[in-house]
Structure 1
Amino acid sequence: MIIMLVAVAIVLGGYFAFQSFKAKMIHQFLSTLSNPPQTVSTVVASDQQWQPQLQAVGSLRAVNGATLSLEVAGVVEKIGFDSGQDVQAGQTLLQLRSEDDVAKLQSLQASAALAQVNYDRDLRQFRAQAVSQATLDTDNYNLRNAKAQVDEQQAVVDKKTLRAPFAGHLGIRQVDLGQYLNAGTAVVTLQSLDPLYVDFSLPQQELSHIAIGQTVSATVDTYPGQKFAGKIVAINPLVDTDTRNVQVRASLGNPDRRLLPGMFVTVMIDAGAPHQQVTLPQTAVTYNSYGSTVFLVKHAPKDDKSLVATQTFVTTGATRGDQVAVLTGIKPGDVVVSAGQIKLHNGTPVVVNNKIQPTDNPNPTPVDN
């Protein structure tokens, strides 16, 4: 009898143990179905040397640049330049027909010469008391008037000639021989290409980080990966009241003339000394109106073999390339989700797959396809 009772107890105990194990397995299965592991990529937060920089967008302009034209109308008689030519200051570029003006100038010069002879003769006679002071004064007035008319006509003749106001590089010629030009008609552009100015604006709070003579570097999408060095040469003493920005001008060397006025450039200015900073790929940070967050990957509280995602708030700083500086919220060595966080919430099981990683380059360059 006792043996029978023991056997029954063993059977019942085994049955209830099996039912408990079965219920536990079903619960785990249903839990897995409701919260399945998500595949993510991760990156380890690390300290990197960080150079604080100011970035601005600017435009290139020539130190000297102008579209040349004449003040007077006339017919083109001579062209003394070719498109794309380098010229020196004062070099003759274009001559309008000026025979009538030159002839009038010569007539006036002859009248001035006669007035000079009359004045000199009457001056000698005045010293000999042969003529009156009034006669000498009249001769002096006639001489000065004749010289003024010569200067006036000389200016008219000079305006028929176009000269380079400064040394530089000519653009494309816009006129032809024999063409009638109205006053102000564009003849050719002239640009001084080395050095070039780059004008850009910075917020007023950055004024303490810039100074005359400070080094800058500029990049142009025309030449990916190349930097052009320069220095700040002027800071506008007036802050724009609409934007609260201040205009800054830097000078860039351009000996090979690869840069041209009017180009769009990105300007970088080092602001302060380099320091160590925790960085992450920008894809790792989720920006929200209530704050920026990242997901850390940690072991499950009761299972060292399982990994779960834990959301935490962070304070971000400046960006450079694909990276962002993290000021608070994580420390070096933390494992952070770099891709796939859109499907996560606190406690979500995760599986790490780092075969494909988001870019994390502080100085990325475009790839030509």
Structure 2
Amino acid sequence: MTTKRPMTKRMIIMLICVGVLLAALVGFNLFKAHMIRKFMASNAAPAATVTSAVARYQSWQPQLSAVGSLRAVRGVDVTTEVPGLVREIPFSSGQEVKAGQVLLRLNDDSDRALLASLQAAAELAQTVYKRDKAQYDIQAIARAQLDADAADLKSKRAQVDQQAALVEKKTIRAPFAGRVGITTVNPGQYINPGDAIVTLQAIDPIYADFYLPQQQLGQLQVGQTVVVDTNAYSSRTFDGKIRSINPRVDNTTRNVQIEASVDNRERKLLPGMYANVKIDAGNEERYLTLPQTAITYNPYGATVFVVKPGEHKDAHGKVMPIAQQVFITPGPTRGDQVAILKGIGEGTQVVTSGQLKLKNGTPLVIDNRVLPADSPNPTPQEQ
């Protein structure tokens, strides 16, 4: 009995030592794992501040778009056929004028005097013809004399008509109704034939000329509605209709020329302006859309960063989401938006700005106080 007690005591002490050693090893391993996690957490990628948007379905009206030029229905630089000294300019620059309204008068005093002389000669020839005809009726003169008198009368009248036409040309009139431009001609100035006096433009309605690819020709027809806008009036659009389609396709560009007549009763659109032309074509279509800024393009395709739940917590103890890159198939664009054909579904939250600093797993701080443009019909902003 005395021998067994020391043995039992030593066994108990040994077991206690082994237990303490095992507890120390387990504690050391737990402490090491905690320090490793703490170290890894301190060296994790910093959170990136981004904006985000949720992919939603929208109905889009398919449109054909083109950039065209505006052209007056009728436009001409008014000139003169005959030289002369400017006597009067009875119009103001920028004025609306009617067809036949006098725009300029040249000095025609000598021409009118010559016209009066020729008219007197024609009247005398008329008198001679009447007297000789009476003589011929009583067989007092020969038929040849009467024929000579008739020919002389026709010649005198032709000279009168020629001179009257010359006098008329000294008064320049508007060939059609429209708006005149700015003239640099002044009274007392001598002008030659062909010298421009002023431009005259009929601008209500106004024509929009534009080109579309031949593959879109089947979606066009005369009478189809068009909408025109220009950066001169960023908040305005102007309605019109296709007036004609060129029957010939350009064999170099394979484009076809379209002419549209645009309502311009307010005279805001001017010839020579460029304009954006949009034509509704086909039925409305439903697309999943995102802002165009959400898409990143690379040699492998188009990608977006999707917002996913994460594990890291911020300073306030809130779990931060992370970024995950996803390949998508983009479709048509409309304004600031792009259609997404494949890759994500409705309701997916996608990063719309700040993608350059992201990679898979990057913690995100979403700040949507300032968002990228996301309008299907954007308008330029005045600065």
TM-score range, shorter chain: 0.7 to 0.9
Is the alpha carbon distance of 1:82 and 1:358 closer, same or farther for their aligned partners in structure 2, counting shifts above 3 Å? closer
Please say if 1:43 is aligned against 2:53.
yes
CA displacement, residues 109-140 of structure 1 (integer Å, 9 cap, x when unaligned)? 33444444555566666676666665555445
Q: Is residue 157 of structure 1 aligned with residue 171 of structure 2?
A: no
Unaligned runs of 5+ in 1: none
After superposition, give the CA deviation of every residue in 1:144-200 in whole Å (9 maximum; x if it has no partner).
433333332222222111101111222223222222122222222222232222222
Change (3 A) 1:24 1:269: farther
Q: Any residues of structure 2 matched to 1:1-369 within 5 Å, and which?
A: 1-25=10-34, 27-28=36-37, 31-32=40-41, 33=43, 35-119=45-129, 135=145, 137-299=147-309, 307-369=321-383
Residue 282 of structure 1: CA displacement? 0.8
Q: Which letter maps to 1:334?
A: T
Deviations 1:230-257 (A, max 9, x none): 1121222222233222222222222222
Identity across matched positions, percent: 50
**Inter-partner Cα distance in structure 1 for 2:126 and 2:104:** 34
Instruction: Write the distance in 1 (CA, Å) between the matches of 2:16 and 2:261.
Output: 99
Give the alignment's Cα RMSD to 1 decimal.
3.0
* Structure 2: distance between partners of 1:357 and 1:234: 43
After TM superposition, the structure 1 stretch with the greater mean CA deviation from structure 2, 52-61 or 115-124, is: 115-124
- What's the secondary structure of 2:164's corresponding residue? helix
Structure 1 distance, partners of 2:369, 2:215, is 43
CA displacement 1:194-227 (0-9 Å, x = unmatched):
2222222222222222221111122222222221
Q: Secondary structure at the match of 1:224?
A: strand
Which deviations, in whole Å up to 9, do the C-alpha atoms of 1:81-126 show, x marking residues without a partner? 2223222111112111112222222333334444445555666666
Letter in 1 for 2:71: R
Runs of 5+ unmatched residues, structure 2: 1-9, 314-318
Aligned-partner residue type, residue 247 of structure 1: Q
Distance 1:25 1:271, change over 3 A: farther
One-letter amino acid matched to 1:286 = T
Which deviates the most, 114-123 or 55-64? 114-123
Give 3-state SS (helix, strand or coil) of 1:195's partner: strand
Amino acid at match of 1:322: D
Q: Is the 8 A contact 1:84 1:170 kept in 2?
A: yes
Relative distance call for 1:127 and 1:354 in structure 2 (3 A) is same
Distance 1:186 1:249 in 2: 28
Instruction: Provide the rounded CA distance (Å) in 2 between the counterparts of 1:365 and 1:182.
Output: 48
For 1:4 and 1:148, locate their aligned partners in 2 and report how far apart those are by CA, in whole Å: 150
Distance 2:17 2:96 in 1: 112
TM-score, normalised with respect to structure 2: 0.84
CA contact (8 A) 1:239 1:245 kept: yes
Whole-Å separation in 1 of the counterparts to 2:369 and 2:37? 29
User: Which string of whole-angstrom CA distances, capped at 9 and with x for unpartnered residues, describes residues 252-295 of structure 1?
Assistant: 22222222222232222212222211110111011234422212
Give yes or no for contact 1:174–1:186 (8 Å, CA) kept in 2: no
Query: Aligned residues, how many?
Result: 368
Q: Give CA-to-partner distance per residue, 1:322-358, whole Å, 9 cap, x none.
A: 2111222222112211112112233444443434322
Measure the CA separation in 2 of the matches of 1:359 and 1:11.
Answer: 66
Cα distance in 1 for residues equivalent to 2:290 and 2:36: 38
Q: TM-score of the superposition, structure 1-length normalised?
A: 0.87
Distance 1:283 1:158 in 2: 67
Q: Distance in 1 between matches of 2:159 and 2:33?
A: 116
The one-letter amino acid paired with 1:202 is L
- Give 1:75 deviation, angstroms: 0.8
Q: Residue deviations 1:15-60, cap 9 Å, x none?
A: 4434444454455456552644433322111101112222222222
2:4 corresponds in structure 1 to none
358-367 or 110-119, larger mean C-alpha shift: 110-119
Q: Structure 1: which amino acid aligns with 2:12?
A: I
| Counterparts in 2 of 1:209 and 1:142: CA distance versus 1, 3 Å | same
Give the partner amino acid of 1:365: T
Greater radius of gyration (CA): 2
| Distance verdict in 2 for CA 1:132–1:178, change over 3 Å | same
